[in-house]
Chain A
Amino acid sequence: MAERSFAREVEDLTLGDGELFRGEGILAITKALLQSGVSYVGGYQGSPISHLMDVLADAKPVLDDLGVHFESSASEAAAAAMLAASINYSLRGAVTWKSTAGTNVASDALTNLASSGVKGGALIILGEDYGEGSSIPQERSHAFAMKSQMWLLDPRPNLESIVKSVEDGFELSEASNTPVMLQVRIRACHVHGQFVAKDNRKPAFTMREALENPIRDLNRIVLPPQSITVHDREKLEQRWPAALDFIRERQLNEFFGPEEGPVGIVLQGGMYNSVIRALQLLGLADSYGNTSVPLYVLNVTYPLLDDEVVRFCQSKRAVLMVEEGHPDYLEQAVNTALRRKDVQTRVAGKDRLPLGGDYTASVLMKGIQSFLDEFEPQMLGNRPPLPSADAVLGSPQVKALAEVVPARPAGFCTGCPERPIFAAMKLVEKELGQHHISADIGCHLFSILPPFNIGGSTMGYGLGPASASAFNVPAGKRPISVMGDGGFWHNGLNTSVGNAVYNKHDGVIMIVDNHYSAATGGQDILSSRAENPLRSTNNSITKAVQGIGAKWVRQIDRTYDVSKMRDTLKAALTSDVEGPKVIVASSECMLNKQRREKPLFSKGVKDGKRMVRQRFGVDEDTCTGDHACIRLSGCPSLSLKHLDDPLRDDPVASIDNTCVGCGNCGEVSEAAVLCPSFYRADIIYNPTRLDRVVAKLRGAVIGFFQRRRAARRIAFA
Chain B
Amino acid sequence: MTVPFEKPIAIAILAMGGQGGGVLADWIVSMAEAQGWAAQSTSVPGVAQRTGATIYYVELLRPSADGKMPVLSLMPTPGDVDIVLAAEFMEAGRSMMRGLVTPDRTTLIASTHRSYAVGEKEMPGDGTSDPQMVADASGIAARRSIVFDMQRLAEKNGSVISSAMFGALAGAAVLPFGRAAFEDAIRAGGKGVEASLRAFAAAFERAEQGAADPVQRKPTPVEAAVPEKSDHPKLDALLIRLRMAVPLGVQPITFAGLKKVVDWQDPSYGEEYLDRLAALHKLDVEAGGANRDYAFTEAAAKYLANAMTYDDVIRVADLKTRATRFDRVRKEIGAKAEQVVYTTEYMHPRMEEVAGTLPARMGRWLTANRPLYNRLDRFFSKGRHVKTGTLFWFAGLYVVSALKPMRRGMLRHEMETAHVARWLDTATGVLPTNYDLATAVLGARRLIKGYSDTHSRGLTKFDKVMSAVPLLSMRADGGQWLGRLVQAALADEAGSTLDAALQTIHSFADSAPA
Interface residues of A (CB under 8 A from B): 22, 47-48, 129, 132-135, 157-158, 186-188, 190-193, 272-274, 276-277, 280-281, 283-292, 358, 360-362, 365, 386-393, 395, 397-398, 400-413, 443, 446, 449-451, 519, 563, 615, 617, 619, 621-622, 624-628, 630-631, 634, 636, 638-640, 642-651, 657, 665-667, 669-676, 678-685, 687, 691-692, 695, 698, 701-703, 705-707, 710, 713-717
Contacts and interface: CB of A to CB of B under 8 A. Distances in A.
Contacts of A277: 71, 73, 77
A192 B41 contact: yes
Given A398-B97, A649-B125, A626 B234 contact: no
Given A389-B79, A392-B141, A405-B94, A410 B17 contact: yes
Given A281-B77, A362-B78, A395-B141, A401 B54 contact: no
Contacts of A673: 348, 350, 451-453
Interface string B328-347: 01001111001111111111
B407 interface: no
A410 B49 CA distance: 8
Contact of A410 (B51, B115, B388): B51
Contacts of B93: 401, 404-405
Interface string B412-452: 00000000000000000000000000000000001001111
A133 B54 contact: yes
Closest 3 CB pairs of A and B: A389-B99, A642-B218, A387-B79
A621 to B, nearest CB: 5
B383 to A, nearest CB: 4
A365 B454 CA distance: 55
B119 A407 contact: yes
A280 B5 contact: yes
A392 B96 contact: yes
Contacts of B507: none
Interface string B36-55: 00011111111111111110
Interface string B232-270: 101100000000000000001101111110110011000
A287 B102 CA distance: 22
Given A191-B41, A683-B333, A401 B97 contact: yes
Contacts of B458: 626
A280 B339 CA distance: 62
5 contacts: A283-B4, A361-B77, A362-B77, A682-B344, A698-B394
Interface in B362-400: 383, 385, 388-391, 394, 398
Contacts of A698: 389-391, 394
A190 B42 contact: yes
A615 B263 contact: no
B218 to A, nearest CB: 3
A192 B323 contact: no
Contacts of B346: 665-667, 669-670, 676, 678-680
A360 B77 contact: yes
B70 A649 contact: no
Given A647-B305, A649-B446, A405 B333 contact: no
A413 B51 contact: yes
A666 to B, nearest CB: 4
Nearest to A365: B77
B102 A389 contact: yes
Contacts of A289: 70-71
Interface residues of B, number: 151
Contacts of A398: 96-97, 137, 140-141
Interface in B215-242: 217-223, 227, 230-232, 234-235
Contacts of A395: 137, 140-141
B454 A192 contact: no
Interface stretch (B172-180, B202-210, B280-288, B314-322): B314-322
A361 B70 contact: no
A619 B6 CA distance: 58
Nearest to B222: A644
Given A389-B79, A392-B99, A647-B256, A684 B339 contact: yes
Given A397-B136, A627-B124, A186 B44 contact: yes
B97 A621 contact: no
B78 A47 contact: no
Given A133-B44, A411-B52, A273 B124 contact: no
- Of A292, A647, A717, the most chain B CB neighbours within 10 A belong to A647
Nearest to A129: B46
Contact of A387 (B80, B220, B252): B80
Nearest to A402: B97
Contact of B339 (A274, A672, A683, A706): A683
B74 interface: yes
B121 A627 contact: yes
A614 B397 CA distance: 22
A276 B61 CA distance: 15
B128 interface: yes
- Of B39, B50, B340, B490, the most chain A CB neighbours within 10 A belong to B340
Interface in B102-124: 102-103, 115-124
B41 A645 contact: no
Contacts of B121: 451, 627, 630, 634, 638-640
B1 interface: yes
B440 to A, nearest CB: 13
A707 B306 contact: no
Given A133-B44, A274-B74, A674-B454, A626 B52 contact: no
Given A627-B124, A640-B121, A692 B136 contact: no
B223 A646 contact: yes
A512 B221 CA distance: 45
Nearest to A672: B453
A716 B73 contact: no
Contact of B139 (A285, A397, A563, A695): A397
B69 interface: yes
